[in-house]
A and B are shown apart, each in its own frame.
Chain A
Amino acid sequence: MRIEKCYFCSAPVYPGHGMKFVRNDCKVFGFCRSKCHKNFKKKRNPRKTRWTKAFRKSVGKELTLDYSLEFEKRRNIPVKYNRELWSKTVEAMKKVESIKNKRQARFILNRLKKGKELEKAADITEVKKNIHLIRAPHAGHAKQLEDKMVQKLAEDVEMDE
């Protein structure tokens, strides 16, 4: 039993799911659901269809080149079963997985940082331009004036004393 990758969207295809298409040149295409299958039949390029992993990787939205990604690779030469090796592999898998996830998350976070800065700048300009919608221009002026007057009076009184 193997979990295949969908040709179009690169999602995992569990056994008993999806469809396979064998072309006349003997190349096999597996699909996870009819959405991907239909898109394929429409001759859409997965590298240009925005919701697929292939697009995201090709355009740099996801982590592509990393050592942790080199661990999972389809191997064509089988290795004879060896209990020790297998159990070690399972443990290693778990660790590699956690590291990989961390790195992928960090990559996306870094990518989105720029957005935060832009947001900040946009807020500042917004406030500068449209503050009149929520604050009258002379909102606190009356109070200020009053305070000033009070202060002046107080000073005067002091001076008189």
Chain B
Amino acid sequence: MALYNFKKIMVVPTAKDFIDLTLSKTQRKTPTVIHKHYQIHRIRHFYMRKIKFTQQNYHDRLSQILTDFPKLDDIHPFYADLMNVLYDKDHYKLALGQINIAKNLIDNVAKDYVRLMKYGDSLYRCKQLKRAALGRMCTILKRQKQSLEYLEQVRQHLSRLPTIDPNTRTLLLCGYPNVGKSSFINKVTRADVEVQPYAFTTKSLFVGHMDYRYLRWQVVDTPGILDHPLEERNTIEMQAITALAHLRAAVLYVMDVSEQCGHTLSQQLELFNNIRPLFANKPLIVMANKCDVRKISELSEENQACDRLLAHRVDTKMKTKKVHDVLNRLHLAVPTKRDQKNRSPFIPEGALLRRKAMETNAPKRKLERDLEVELGDDYTLDLQKYWDLMNPEEKQDKIPEIWEGHNIADYIDPEIMKRLEDLEQEEELRAKAGEYDSEEESEDEEMKEIRQLASQIREKRKLKILSSKEKDTQGSRMPRTAKKVERATLEKEMADLGLDMTDKDDSHYARRSRSLVRKRKREVSAPPTSRTRSQSASRPPRDQSGVRDAKMLKKVKTMMKNSQKDMNQQGRKGESDRHVFDVKPKHLFAGKRKSGSTSRR
């Protein structure tokens, strides 16, 4: 049914978008490659296809628009009238008509150009024809810009109209603005209509649903109606009038008894009489609203029209013809009584008490909430006061939980004192038995000496191992006897080992053994005055030749040392020594920071 498909109308694109859409689609969905040297029928077919494709697209889309939008003659007169009120029937029909014309024009254009294409004899000619055809179609559509925009707006508004079913049970609220129709509908249904003190808060129809007698009822809220003739009514009021005119509903004419809406009761009565003709064939109830402000009894007797008055909190007993029909078909089945025993409903005592308390308005016990309100900012939620302890004065205690890394809760035991006593007794016994006596290291002198010697031995051993590691095993080895052993080192070593090395001047190693040997071998010894010897004796040593004085000597020495510093520091044997002793030292490459990003630690 067209009624409920207002939300399903396709989006109407703007003219520009429409054109872009279709043209890009043509480009994508049709073949794009064509060459001059193809056969002419192939070229013609290629371009004809493009024209037809574009025409097809336009046609489809425009037809869809035309079918989607409801035809005012086909829908329920309520909706027809409503749409007329809102969108102007003529404009609407015109817009759709224009679209239709555009569609036909596009079809004609396509037909013509396809016919002309038959006479295209080169790629260039066919291409121009296609361009012309597409251009004309797009121009046609460009001219429809206004209609398309209007239709898009209509569509958006249509989709937001409330779904009022004109055929079901309906209650219609009408009356002056600000009398309380929206408040009523908010109370009675789950609708959430805006309620404000200014008039014309409700600007369109609103629907709410409620249940009464197991049936669903629609309650329709209308914008207020002012009292002037039909021709002078604006769009908002016309909506209300339309609803009144077309919906077969029970009408609730709402009157404001307290005159808070700004209109006197007589004015409201006037309006009522004026719209009376609209109420033909519909059950009518006049509702006196806002009677908490001004009681009905305070009304003067002039207002005789307010005979049948209802307080706005009382149930509305509406009977439309339909309900009668349904009632005839309903029947409530009740089980027959077995005996005369009275079986009344069971209400528990607590519920009764509570009901009584509610009615008598007895003072309730002080709630936490009341306390909170009372104390304001100082309020803290203190649940400890509800605790059930043996000594109630301990309720506010701060309970310790942890001591020095232990949970106190793990030690809590009613018998802990007894166990502690046992433990202490045990401890005493052990102490008596001598378990905790610290043993004196009763070592005699001998043992101490042995220890000391052992540590010395170990140290000596390690040093020896280290020094042997430092030896250069790569080079050629000289026999031990080739090296000259200094007297001082020999004597020192032997002294360390415990031998007595004092006054060893005439020992075999301290004498100039060579001269002794020489003396034995030769009878006549040549005096040591040969030229070479004397020359070597008189030549100054290298570190003193060329040096003038002590100051210069000192400077020379420091220069020498400085130049050697670099090499010495690097620990290299010479310039070509590029040996790295430890390519990957462990302390830089171990652990989590081992990826080589650490240069020192």
Contacts and interface: CB of A to CB of B under 8 A. Distances in A.
A86 B389 contact: no
B457 A133 contact: yes
Contact of A72 (B406, B420, B423, B451): B406
20 contacts: A3-B405, A70-B419, A71-B423, A75-B412, A78-B409, A79-B414, A80-B389, A85-B414, A86-B400, A89-B408, A95-B424, A99-B423, A120-B447, A123-B450, A130-B461, A135-B497, A136-B498, A136-B499, A139-B499, A142-B500
A140 B498 contact: yes
Interface string A64-95: 00011011111100111111011011101111
A71 B497 CA distance: 61
Interface in B441-496: 447, 450-451, 453-454, 456-458, 460-461, 464, 494, 496
A99 B397 CA distance: 30
A53 B422 CA distance: 28
Contacts of A85: 412, 414, 416
A78 to B, nearest CB: 8
B385 to A, nearest CB: 13
B420 A96 contact: yes
B401 A1 contact: yes
Contacts of B426: 67
A80 B414 CA distance: 10
Nearest to B496: A134
A96 B397 contact: no
Interface in A41-70: 67-68, 70
A71 B418 CA distance: 12
Contacts of B394: 81-83
B417 A92 contact: yes
B410 A75 contact: yes
B435 interface: yes
A126 interface: yes
Contacts of B435: 106
Given A90-B408, A134-B457, A139-B498, 19 more contacts: A2-B401, A67-B426, A72-B406, A74-B410, A78-B409, A85-B416, A86-B412, A89-B413, A92-B416, A92-B417, A93-B403, A96-B411, A124-B450, A127-B453, A131-B453, A131-B457, A134-B456, A139-B497, A142-B499
A135 B499 CA distance: 8
A80 B409 CA distance: 11
A122 B114 CA distance: 115
A102 B447 CA distance: 30
Which 8 A-B pairs have CB atoms at the shortest separation, nearest pair first? A139-B498, A123-B454, A136-B497, A126-B454, A133-B460, A92-B420, A83-B394, A72-B410
A75 B413 CA distance: 9
Interface size class of A (residues with CB under 8 A): 35 or more
B549 interface: no
Given A133-B457, A134-B497, A75 B409 contact: yes
B402 A82 contact: no
Contacts of B397: 81, 83
Nearest to B460: A133
Given A81-B399, A99-B427, A134-B456, A93 B450 contact: no
B314 interface: no
A143 interface: yes
A82 B410 contact: no
Contacts of A142: 499-500
B410 A102 contact: no
A12 interface: yes
B13 to A, nearest CB: 55
Contacts of A134: 453, 456-457, 460, 496-498
Contact of A127 (B407, B414, B454): B454
Interface residues of B, number: 51
A82 B436 contact: no
B422 A127 contact: no
Contacts of B529: none
A126 to B, nearest CB: 5
B402 A3 contact: yes
B421 to A, nearest CB: 10
B230 interface: no
B499 to A, nearest CB: 5
B325 to A, nearest CB: 63
B121 to A, nearest CB: 80
Contacts of B406: 3, 72, 93, 97
A126 B500 contact: no
A73 B408 contact: no
B398 to A, nearest CB: 11
B391 interface: yes
B450 A71 contact: no
A82 B420 contact: no
A61 B357 CA distance: 73
A3 B427 CA distance: 28
B333 interface: no
A90 to B, nearest CB: 6
Contacts of A124: 450, 454
A138 to B, nearest CB: 8
B395 to A, nearest CB: 9
A56 to B, nearest CB: 18
Interface string B165-207: 0000000000000000000000000000000000000000000
A117 B412 CA distance: 44
B404 interface: yes
Interface string A1-43: 1110000000010000000000000000000000000000000
B389 A82 contact: yes
Nearest to A132: B497
B407 A3 contact: yes
B416 A81 contact: no
Given A82-B390, A127-B457, A143 B500 contact: yes
A77 B494 CA distance: 79
Nearest to A136: B497
A136 B403 CA distance: 63
A68 B454 CA distance: 42
A155 to B, nearest CB: 24
Contacts of A138: 499
B369 to A, nearest CB: 28
Contacts of A120: 447
A132 B158 CA distance: 116
Contact of B405 (A12, A75, A82, A102): A12
A46 to B, nearest CB: 20
A53 to B, nearest CB: 14
B402 A67 contact: no
A142 B401 CA distance: 78
A133 B419 CA distance: 61
A44 B456 CA distance: 44
Contacts of B499: 136, 138-139, 142
A123 B454 CA distance: 5
A86 B399 contact: yes
A122 B451 CA distance: 10
